[in-house]
Homo-oligomer: A and B are copies of this chain.
Amino acid sequence: MDYALLISTYTDQHRHRGWPRQRLLHECLRAAIRNGTLAAGTRLVATRALAAELGVARNTVLYAYEQLASEGFVTTDRRGTVVVAMAPAHAVAEAPPPATHAGLSRRMRDLRTPPDAAHMMGAFVTGVPALDHFPLTLWRRMLERAWRSLSAAQLNYADAAGEAVLRDAIADHLRASRGVVCDASQVFITDGTQSSLDLCCRAFADDGDTIWLENPGYGGALAAARGAGLNVAGIDVDDDGIAPGADDWLLRPPRLVYTTPSHQYPTGSVLSLRRRLALIESAREAGALVIEDDYDSEFRYDGAPLSAIQGLAPDAPVLYLGTFSKTMFPSLRLAFVVAPKALAGPLAQMRAQSASRGRVAEQLALAEFLRSGQFALHLRRMRRLYRQRRDALIEALQRHVGDIAQVHGASAGMHLALRFQGMVLDDAAISAQARERSIVAHALSVQRTQGACGWNGLMLGYAQIPAEQMDGLVRTLAALLHAPSSGAAGDGLRVHAAQQRRTT
- Which residue numbers of A lie inside 8 Å of B, CB to CB? 100-108, 111-116, 120-121, 127-128, 131-132, 134, 136, 140, 143-144, 147-148, 150, 152-158, 160, 191-192, 194-195, 198, 202-209, 219-220, 223-224, 227-229, 325, 329-333, 342-343, 345-347, 349-350, 352-360
Give A329 to B134 CA distance when docked, in angstroms: 30
Closest to A343 in B: B103
Give A102 to B349 CA distance when docked, in angstroms: 11
Give A157 to B333 CA distance when docked, in angstroms: 9
Best-buried of A101, A104, A121, A127 by chain B (most CB within 10 Å): A104
Judged by DSSP, the binding face of A is helix
Select A128's contact among B157, B203, B332, B358, beta carbons within 8 Å. B157
Residues B355 and A194 in contact, CB atoms below 8 Å apart: yes
Instruction: Please name all residues of chain B whose beta carbon is closer than 8 Å to the beta carbon of A204 when the two chains form the complex.
Output: 103-105
Q: A104-B349, A121-B156 are in contact. List 15 more A-B contacts (CB 8 A).
A: A100-B349, A103-B342, A104-B204, A104-B346, A105-B209, A114-B353, A120-B156, A128-B157, A131-B153, A144-B144, A158-B331, A330-B357, A331-B358, A332-B359, A333-B358
Report the minimum CB–CB distance from A437 to chain B (whole Å): 20
Q: A131-B153, A136-B155 are in contact. Are A107 and B206 (CB under 8 A)?
A: yes
Instruction: Please name all residues of chain B whose beta carbon is closer than 8 Å to the beta carbon of A152 when the two chains form the complex.
Output: 131-132, 134, 136
Select A140's contact among B148, B207, B331, B345, beta carbons within 8 Å. B148
Q: A111-B353, A120-B157 are in contact. Are A358 and B346 (CB under 8 A)?
A: no
Instruction: Please name all residues of chain B whose beta carbon is closer than 8 Å to the beta carbon of A153 when the two chains form the complex.
Output: 121, 131
Instruction: Please name all residues of chain B whose beta carbon is closer than 8 Å to the beta carbon of A156 when the two chains form the complex.
Output: 120-121, 128, 131, 329-331
Report the minimum CB–CB distance from A114 to chain B (whole Å): 4
Q: A120-B156, A191-B191, A346-B100 are in contact. Are A107 and B353 (CB under 8 A)?
A: no
Select A202's contact among B107, B127, B356, beta carbons within 8 Å. B107
Instruction: Please name all residues of chain B whose beta carbon is closer than 8 Å to the beta carbon of A207 when the two chains form the complex.
Output: 107, 207-208, 229
Instruction: Please name all residues of chain B whose beta carbon is closer than 8 Å to the beta carbon of A128 when the two chains form the complex.
Output: 156-157
Report the minimum CB–CB distance from A150 to chain B (whole Å): 7
Report the minimum CB–CB distance from A397 to chain B (whole Å): 25
Select A104's contact among B108, B198, B350, beta carbons within 8 Å. B350
Give A221 to B325 CA distance when docked, in angstroms: 30
Best-buried of A102, A144, A155, A207 by chain B (most CB within 10 Å): A155
Residues B206 and A346 in contact, CB atoms below 8 Å apart: no
Closest to A229 in B: B207
- Which are the 7 A-B pairs with shortest beta-carbon distances? A331-B358, A114-B352, A155-B329, A192-B356, A114-B353, A207-B207, A131-B152
Q: A105-B204, A349-B101 are in contact. Are A136 and B111 (CB under 8 A)?
A: no
Give A120 to B154 CA distance when docked, in angstroms: 12
Report the minimum CB–CB distance from A81 to chain B (whole Å): 34
Residues B331 and A359 in contact, CB atoms below 8 Å apart: yes
Residues B155 and A330 in contact, CB atoms below 8 Å apart: yes
Select A360's contact among B198, B331, B357, beta carbons within 8 Å. B331
Instruction: Please name all residues of chain B whose beta carbon is closer than 8 Å to the beta carbon of A198 when the two chains form the complex.
Output: 198, 354
